[in-house]
């Protein structure tokens, strides 16, 4: 079962396009601060190691996991980060599939940042995609 507790979609400038807490635990998360922090971490990793950040693990048992999937716009120096908070390690392939699907639905909208965020078009498209999400292996998806 795929269990996602929180989803944040932001860009390489730290601008938040979508954020949603699926559990009460993450309701008070400051998504602008969180997005900026992860954007900065990703840029530092890229500068130091020429690699993008993929996972950040928290907790003694490493059971709080942040997975970051990066999508690049090839005609611009612009990146979109899909940030998933989960309580167990979900296969990267599953989260990449989710981010690919969302990216296909919102890529034209994220270029006009403020207008599409404020009028709810990005949120509507992401929520629609998540509601109708199914994997090829019929694994159950639980988005709290």
- How many CB atoms lie under 10 A from the CB of residue 88? 11
Give tens-digit pLDDT for 19-48: 888 888 778 877 777 777 777 777 777 788
Residue 130 has pLDDT above 50, yes or no: yes
Q: What is the pLDDT of residue 144?
A: 44
Q: What is the DSSP string of the chain?
A: -EEESEEEEEETT--EEEEEESSGGGTT--HHHHHHHHHHHHHHHHHHHS----EEEESTTS-EEEEEEEEEETTTTEEEEEEEEESS---HHHHHHHHHHHHHHHTTTTTSHHHHHHTTHHHHHHHHHHHT---TT---EEE-
- How many angstroms separate the CA atoms of 67 and 1, rounded? 17
Q: What is the pLDDT of residue 2?
A: 58
Residue 78 has pLDDT above 70, yes or no: yes
Instruction: Give me the phi and psi of 11, to 5 degrees please.
Output: -115, 180
Q: What is the pLDDT of residue 50?
A: 74
**Which domains does the chain show, CATH number per domain?**
2-143 (3.30.450.70)
| pTM confidence score | 0.79
**pLDDT (mean) for 56-74:** 75
- Confirm if 69 and 99 have CB atoms less than 8 A apart: yes
Tell which wins on pLDDT, 85 or 143: 85
Q: 92-106 and 121-131 helices cross at what angle (nearest 10)?
A: 140
Q: What is the pLDDT of residue 76?
A: 66
């Amino acid at each position: 079962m795929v269990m996602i507790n929180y989803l944040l979609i932001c860009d390489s400038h730290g601008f938040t396009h979508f954020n949603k807490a699926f559990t009460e635990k993450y309701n008070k998360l400051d998504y602008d601060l969180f997005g900026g922090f992860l954007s900065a971490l990703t840029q530092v990793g890229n500068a130091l190691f020429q690699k993008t950040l993929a996972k950040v693990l928290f907790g003694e048992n490493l059971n709080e996991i942040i997975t970051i999937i990066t999508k690049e716009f090839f005609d611009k120096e612009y990146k979109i980060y899909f940030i998933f908070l989960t309580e167990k390690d979900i296969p990267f392939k599953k989260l990449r599939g989710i981010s690919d699907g969302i990216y296909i639905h919102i890529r034209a909208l994220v270029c006009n940042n403020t207008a599409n965020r404020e009028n709810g078009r990005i949120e509507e498209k992401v929520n629609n995609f998540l509601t109708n999400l199914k994997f090829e292996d019929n694994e159950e998806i639980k988005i709290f």
